[in-house]
Structure 1
Amino acid sequence: MQLAQSGQALGASYRFGERVGSGAVGEVWTITAADGRTLAAKVLRPEHADDPSLVERFVRERSVLLALQDRSIVPVRDMVVEGPRLAIVMDYIPGGSLREVANDAGPLRPAEALSITAEVFDALAFAHSRGVTHRDIKPDNVLLARPWPEWGPGDVRVSDFGISDVVGEKIRQTTGLIGTPQYMPPELISQGRSGPAGDVYSAGVLLYELLAGRTPFAGPGTDFSVAYRHVSSRPPRLPVNDGLWDTLDLLLSKDPAQRPAAADAAAALRRLAPGLAGYAALARGQAPEEFDDVERPATLVRGAFTDAELTALAAAPPSAEETVVPDLGEAGSATIARPIPRRQVLPQPENRAEEPAAVPFWRTRKALLLAGSAVLLLAVMVAGFIVLSPGSQQAAPAAAGEQLSAQVPGQALPTGLTISRSAVYEPSSGETRLTLTYAAQKAPLSGNFLEVIPGLAEADTCPAVSWAGAAVSRNQGSVTGVDVGCGWNLSGLQVSAGSSVEVTAKVPVAPADQQELDAWLRSGAEATAAAAQDPDVLGSAYPAQRLMGVEVRTPARVVTPSPLKITLVPVWASGPDELNPLYVSPAAGKPSQMLTAVAGGEKGVRFSDGCGGALAVDSSGLTVTALQITPECTVRASVGNFTELQSPRFGITSREASGD
């Protein structure tokens, strides 16, 4: 059954044009709006209309994209519900997709591939900062505002967030696989979970394809064979310089915790691009017949397939009889949204005899020890499933140690904010629990707060962090102006005057001893303070941590009787910021976000007469009027925790004396 026909009406405001694409759950058409604009519409397939989960996913695409208003993301304009037909209306991007570029142009020059992928990472960084993952990054879902020969910086648009999930910092456990086999991150195949790090991996596959003309694990076998290579095989080395390969290899790390955040990946690619400007594109190579395996722990797919069984499934030819292979779609590059078939795994006779009769379910426990490995893996029992991830190896060296704890007391900042930090390393979990205590003195504090969570050593990548107590996203230097590695943006905190709030974080770091834990906790505190007090940082981000003082500005001369214009100027480590005042009296409109963050809004501001009755202050304490002539006068001010402020001296004259 066809979804639509050219010329057919779509709701009351649109008419179908041409079909320009199709995906797992819908087709994409050009449409003409009533005002003559050409837009695009994604229409749900009729065969899915009775599937509640797919309908929910389709409807969610609109709400997700409405919250993702960024130039690097295709914006949604409308949603049409017409009988059994659902359609999302979005901007039409005329330049085609990267799939067409990859097919027609072949491998791209490294500088071009890096520039395009950096813009994809920009889109992902924005989405991740809003708690959204894409989960199906591939060339088909990356569009260009202008056709390839005319392409330029800023033309990349990421589309099709229809199978994305709103996730926050906690990685969601799925009930099946959603994605594209050639681009699926290994944790989605092996453990059925995905998150922002999975998007980074898929974008790394995209970069590999733009450089090589093929995906890293394309080759012989079934679509499941291709997908399983993400778990079991190393990506074949490309003939590019070491810096580019090291970055690409990091993006394709089997361990999600080892991959950089999307914003960090974008910055890394942009640093590499200028040095590769003169490099030619690689020749399109053939996919290898065999792949190098990686050493890895035993793997269970959704609690159903053991590592040995997965290997057998991956090696099975498509025509093999009596082989239950997860259905991953028609082709390795097609999006699928299907559950993995579940079945009971019957114990093998030879293993059954070796296991204790009291615990027959855990017949695969022997697989926890790899031959030739000295790594002890963490076994976690969740609802009858064992999930072993590569990241669990990090905790193994200290698993037999004692619990460690450390504290770093905070010092009050000029705004009255004190940040105290404590950490407890628990060997049984292999994680360090970090507690941040934010305390306020005389004024309520709110807004965004910066926190740097480094690795144990300087060379370590930024650890993955699971937060509780605040809405948290990665710090984006391009947005906040604070360029610091391993930085996090904590929002939604409200610290009342004289009280405190706590935020906790689980960090997968395993210090070897008390000295290493103390050094790690201290390094995070010092890095956070250094970033907040960096004199090179401009802008008004993180005001509760960065505001150093407030200057009270008035005109040099005031005419009586008239209101006195008072400007409260924030002072950062870089100096006074006249362009972004905290407050201007007499006030017009809502108070600035900065004022709300450091003083609770206008209620935290008060002015008073500093010249013996020459000034009159209204009952709110916010409007000052010049009443008496005097050659020298000052106005005093209190702003949140800044209580002893005073303006420079100014004169008050009469209208006659001023000549007005």
Structure 2
Amino acid sequence: MHLAQTGEALGASYRFGERVGSGAVGEVWTVTSADGRLLAAKVLRPEHAEDPSLVERFVRERSVLLGLQDPRIVPVRDMVVEGARLAIVMDYVAGGSLRDAVKDLGPLPPAAALTAAAEVFDALAFAHSRGVTHRDVKPDNVLLARPFSECGPGDVLVSDFGISDVVGEKVRQTTGLVGTPQYMPPELISQGRSGPEGDVYSAGVLLYELLAGRTPFAGPGTDFTVAYRHVSSRPPRIPVEDAVWDVLEALLSKDPALRPTAREAASTLRRLAPGLAGSAPLARAEAPADFDAVERPATVVRGGLTEEELSALTVLSPADGGAVPELGEAGSATIVRPLPRRDVPARAEARSEEKDATPFWRTRKALLLAGAAAALLVAMVVGFVVLAPADRRTGPTAGAGGQVSAQLQDPALPTGLTVSRTASYEPSSGQTRLSVTYAAQKAPLSGDFLEVIPGLAEGDACPAATWEDASASRNQASITGLDVECGWKLSGVQVPAGGSVQVTAKVSVQPADQQALDAWLRAGSQATAAALQDPATKGTAYPVQRLQGVEVRTPARVVTPSPLKITLVPVWAGGADELNPLYVSPASGKPSQMLTAVTGGEEGLRFSDGCGGALAVDSSGLTVTALQITPQCTLRASVGNFTDLQSPSFSITSRENSDD
């Protein structure tokens, strides 16, 4: 079933061309914009549009994806919500994908493979710095500006950032699997979580495939069989230089903490690529008869099963009537598939009589089979049934006092600000290093920013913090109007449009384990958001984080010809603030500090005629004059990240009518 037809309209600005692909998430079409540009649209399947929570998330993720602008990422240009149709509009990239290259050419020359993978890691590094995780890195999602044989620097682009987040969140929160089995990181399968380190792993699988012509764990079996090899097996060695194999082993480490970052991986691959110039491609690797198993600690089930069910799992095997769910043949398609819980049958008492009559060697074999089946089932339950964390935290599990790290991203704010936080506890220093990344979308953002750094437990004293990269002082409620414990005011932060900045603090907290660090990072984020969005707060402090909207105000009646008085009123959580206007036109003096904070100044502000020529806007876009008599007129405005603003209707009359 096609989700669109050639020539059909998509929203008010696009028209469908040809269908160029399809998958589990939806179909990809060429579309033509109103100004004649050829773009691509990924149209999501109708069942997604019928889910109100997914539509809400789709709209919420829009600002994040639109702000992900990097030369090595296929840019998202628009997101359309139209009835039962959701579509993501992006640039059209005509050179095919790395999947096409591997399919047509087989294994790629090592130098070319490493160079292409380095550009993929560049794209991931940028996204990770903005708090965005891809979650479905594979050759299909790496597009080429030109056919691979003609590609040069900058022709490799990563696409579909955030689509797994948009479509997969509901599945991860219930029961299910999101991703592509051949590229899934082991922590997603065994612990139900994945983050930037998971992207690095998947890109390592991609590099392995570019070199070998096959993914490391491809072979016979179902989706589950292939996916579980990521947890249980070592990647088969391929005949590449030792330095290249060392990189692959690091990228494919079972422990996320041992993998390099995306930026480190890109740098290493670029250093190695020139030494491989002229090296011939490898012969296409065949799947091994057996995969070497790895020794690993027992998987811990974090919820979802009772003690009785866990006990029953230890005696299940296929021979006993237990069965691993059939998921279909393994392939390279993205999986978005809910998996229902299975009832675990009770232990059969009568089985003991049968075992008494069984020879010893046969009993031992049965126990070995049961143990293997139990390990498979436990991993399946944890990866596919256990609830995945709702926030985007990552970090290796560690015992008390060990090194742990965590990551958390807040939803984008109306001003276009996105905040992501990472925390890493170093036992050697006894301190936790907190890094806060502020990213801006359409407009530069600046001024004072609030960060709350709480104690580890409720009631603990506010910890000491030493800040880098920003001028920091304790928040003073008498000055800012925000009465919050453990609050810090970071002054002079400058975030460029489409860019990001990072500030770091060394904090005197010592979390005992991963769970404690996760809770501490989340508590700081929640306390910061609660303070900034308190409706009782008065004043104009921290506008980048507090501003909810902008109202465009004009007089109810305007006399022609005369300048139109326009007042931009900030809207906080407590409502519109008429006493502290954001901007007044015609302007006199310098723009307000609030306007500068959220738009970069007057250059981020523009007015436009909303009533068919009755208003004249000067070349600066800041002064508007009423020209023609009309009973109803509106003014449009764009204020930084707040676009498509519109005033209430007003009338334009002549001076004579006004005197009447």
- Structure-1-length-normalised TM-score: 0.53
Partner of 1:125: 125
Counterpart Cα distance in 2 of 1:261 and 1:218: 25
Equivalent residues of 1:470, 1:491 under 8 A apart: no
Paired position in structure 2 for 1:85: 85
Distance 2:125 2:27 in 1: 27
Unaligned runs of 5+ in 1: 167-171, 354-369, 371-379, 409-423, 426-433, 447-467, 472-478, 481-487, 494-500, 510-587, 597-660
Residue aligning to 1:48:
48
Q: Distance in 2 between matches of 1:157 and 1:79?
A: 20
Cα gap change, 1:177/1:397 in structure 2, threshold over 3 Å: closer, same or farther? same
Alignment partner, residue 157 of structure 2: 157
Q: Are 1:335 and 2:334 an aligned pair? A: yes
Q: Secondary structure at the match of 1:133?
A: coil
Offset of residue 343 of structure 1: 3.5
Aligned partner of 2:135 in structure 1 is 135
**CA offset digits 1:372-418 (Å, max 9, x no partner):** xxxxxxxx9xx99999x9955777999xxxx988679xxxxxxxxxx
Q: SS at the partner of 1:203?
A: helix
SS for the counterpart of 1:157 is strand
CA distance in 2, matches of 1:73, 1:312: 49
SS in 2 for 1:269: helix
Q: Which residue of 2 aligns with 1:430?
A: none
Pair 1:265 & 2:265 matched:
yes
Q: In 2 relative to 1, CA 184–316 (structure 1 residues): closer, same or farther, beyond 3 Å? A: farther
Q: SS at the partner of 2:124?
A: helix
Write the deviation string for residues 45-94 of structure 1: whole angstroms up to 9, x where unpaired: 12433234554555455333212011111111122232212222111011
- 1:417-432 aligned within 5 A: none
2:466 corresponding residue in structure 1:
437
Shift, 1:338, TM fit:
2.7
Question: Partner of 1:20: helix, strand, or coil?
Answer: strand
Alpha carbons of structure 1 residues 77 and 397: separation in structure 2 relative to 1, 3 Å: closer
CA distance in 2: counterparts of 1:304 and 1:286, whole angstroms? 39
1:460-486 CA distance string (max 9 Å, x none): xxxxxxxx9999xxxxxxx99xxxxxx
1:212 to 2:224 alignment: no
Q: Which amino acid aligns with 2:503?
A: S
What's the offset of the Cα at 1:14? Answer: 1.6
Asked if 1 retains the 8 angstrom alpha-carbon contact of 2:136 and 2:179, the reply is yes
CA distance in 2, matches of 1:63, 1:185: 27
Indicate the SS of the match to 1:68. Answer: coil
Residue 23 of structure 1 and its aligned partner are, at CA, apart by 2.5
The equivalences for 1:363-374 within 5 A come to: none
1:168-207 to structure 2, matched below 5 A, reads 176-207=176-207
Contact residue 98 and residue 140 of structure 2 kept, 8 A: yes
Task: Please state whether the residue corresponding to 2:70 is helix, strand or coil.
Answer: coil
Aligned pair partner of 2:503 in 478, 488, 491? 491
Give the aligned residue type for 1:75.
P
Structure 1's 404 and 161: CA in aligned 2 closer, same or farther, altered over 3 A?
Answer: closer
Cα pair 1:121 1:266 within 8 Å, conserved: yes
Q: CA deviation at 1:591?
A: 13
Aligned partner of 1:35 in structure 2 is 35
Superposition pairs of residues 515-534 of structure 1, within 5 angstroms = none
- Matched letter for residue 2 of structure 2: Q
Which runs of structure 2 are paired with 1:341-380 in the superposition (5 Å)? 341-343=340-342, 345=344
Residue 338 of structure 1 aligns with an amino acid whose one-letter code is R
> 1:336 Cα shift?
1.2
Q: Number of residues paired by the alignment?
A: 412
Q: Is the CA contact (8 Å cut-off) linking 1:77 and 1:91 kept in structure 2?
A: yes
Q: Relative to 1, partners in 2 of residues 1:225 and 1:470: Cα closer, same or farther, differing over 3 Å?
A: farther
* Cα displacement (A) at 1:275: 1.4
Counterpart in 2 of 1:115?
Answer: 115
Separation in 2, partners of 1:164, 1:144: 21
Deviation at 1:302? 6.6
Assess, with a 3 A threshold, how the Cα gap between structure 1 residues 21 and 63 changes in structure 2: closer, same or farther: farther
Q: Is the 8 A contact 1:42 1:87 kept in 2?
A: yes
User: What secondary structure does 1:201 align onto?
Assistant: helix
Amino acid at match of 2:255: D
2:578 equivalent in structure 1: none
| Partner Cα distance (1:440, 1:492) in 2 | 7
TM-score (norm 2): 0.53
Residue in structure 2 matched with residue 227 of structure 1 by the alignment? 227
| CA distance, structure 1, for counterparts of residue 4 and residue 63 of structure 2 | 23
What are the within-5 Å matches in structure 2 for residues 467-482 of structure 1? Answer: none
In 1: Cα distance, 2:469 partner to 2:155 partner: 45
Q: Is the 8 A contact 2:117 2:266 kept in 1?
A: yes
Structure 2 CA distance for aligned equivalents of residues 239 and 440 of structure 1: 46
Q: Distance in 2 between matches of 1:507 and 1:276?
A: 46
Aligned to 1:517: none
The alpha carbon displacement at 1:177 in A equals 2.3
Distance, in Å, in 2 between the alignment partners of 1:145 and 1:386 is 36
Q: Aligned partners of 1:439 and 1:292: how far apart in 2?
A: 46
Which amino acid in 1 is paired with 2:338?
P
- Flag the 1:440–1:286 CA change in 2: closer, same or farther, 3 A: closer
With over 3 angstroms needed to count, the CA separation of the structure-2 counterparts of 1:214 and 1:189, relative to structure 1, is same
Q: Distance in 1 between matches of 2:237 and 2:469?
A: 53
TM-aligned CA distance change 1:210 to 1:406, over 3 Å: closer
Greater displacement, 156-165 / 214-223: 156-165
For structure 2, the 5+ residue unaligned runs are 167-171, 353-371, 373-381, 404-425, 432-454, 457-462, 475-486, 491-497, 515-588, 598-660
What whole-Å deviation, never above 9, does each CA across 1:639-658 have from its counterpart, x for those lacking one? xxxxxxxxxxxxxxxxxxxx
Partner of 1:277: 277
Report % sequence identity.
66
- C-alpha RMSD of the superposition: 5.0
1:265 alignment partner AA: A
Shift of 1:325: 1.6
- Aligned-pair distance for 1:311? 11
Amino acid at match of 2:91: D
Report the residue type matching 1:88 in the other structure: I
Cα deviation, 1:544-596, whole Å, max 9, x if unaligned, reads xxxxxxxxxxxxxxxxxxxxxxxxxxxxxxxxxxxxxxxxxxxx99999xxx9
Take 2:20 and 2:315, find their aligned partners in 1: how far apart are those partners? 39
- Alpha-carbon distance in 2 for matches of 1:57, 1:312: 42
Quote how far apart the aligned CAs of 1:507 are.
9.5
